[in-house]
Amino acid sequence: MKKLQMVDLRSQYLNIKTEIDKGIQEIIDSCAFINGPAVQTFQKSLEQYLGIKHVIPCANGTDALQVSMMALNLKPGDEVITTSFTFIATAEVIALLQLTPVLVDVDPSTFNIDPQAIQRAITPKTRVIVPVHLFGQAAPMEEIMEIARKHNLYVIEDNCQAIGSDYIFDDGTMKKAGTIGHIGCTSFFPSKNLGCYGDGGAIFTNDDDLAKQMRVVVNHGMTVRYYHDYIGVNSRLDSIQAAVLNVKLSHLDEYAAKRRAAADFYDQAFAINPKLITPARYAKSTHVFHQYTLVAKETDRKALIEHLTDKGIPAMIYYPVPLHMQKAYLDPRYKPGDFPVTEHLCETVFSLPMHTELEQDQLEFITSSVLEFLNP
Ligand X SMILES: *Cc1c(COP(=O)(O)O)cnc(C)c1O
46-65 binders of ligand X (CB under 6 A): 60-62
Angle at 252 (CA atoms; ends 248, 256), nearest 5 degrees:
140
Whether the upstream peptide bond of residue 230 has omega within 30° of 0, thus cis, is: no
Q: Does 87 bind ligand X (CB under 6 A)?
A: yes
Q: Which is nearer to ligand X, 199 or 238 (CB)?
A: 199
Burial of 350 (0-12, 13-18, 19+ CB in 10 A): buried
Q: Does 165 bind ligand X (CB under 6 A)?
A: no
User: x/- binding map, residues 174-213, to ligand X, per CB under 6 A?
Assistant: -------------x-x---------x-x------------
| Shortest Cβ 189–ligand X spacing (Å) | 4
Q: Which is nearer to ligand X, 84 or 299 (CB)?
A: 84
Q: Which is nearer to ligand X, 158 or 270 (CB)?
A: 158
239-249 and 17-30 helices cross at what angle (nearest 10)? 150
Q: How far apart are CA 328 and CA 62, in angstroms?
A: 17
Q: How far apart are CA 60 and CA 93, in angstroms?
A: 12
Q: Does 351 bind ligand X (CB under 6 A)?
A: no
Q: Does 140 bind ligand X (CB under 6 A)?
A: no
| Shortest Cβ 227–ligand X spacing (Å) | 29
Instruction: Kindly report the backbone phi and psi dihedral angles of residue 315, in degrees, each rounded to the nearest multiple of 5, phi listed first.
Output: -140, 140
Among 110-118, 156-164, 251-259, 304-312, the segment contacting ligand X (CB under 6 A): 156-164
| Shortest Cβ 238–ligand X spacing (Å) | 14
Q: Which is nearer to ligand X, 160 or 244 (CB)?
A: 160
Q: Count other Cβ atoms within 10 Å, centred on residue 98.
A: 11
Buried b (16+ CB within 10 A) or exposed e, 326-342: eeebeeeebeeebbebb
Q: Does 92 bind ligand X (CB under 6 A)?
A: no
The number of residues making up the chain comes to 376
Q: Count residues binding ligand X (CB under 6 A).
A: 15
Which residues sit at the interface with ligand X, rule CB under 6 A?
60-62, 86-87, 89-90, 132, 158, 160-161, 187, 189, 199, 201
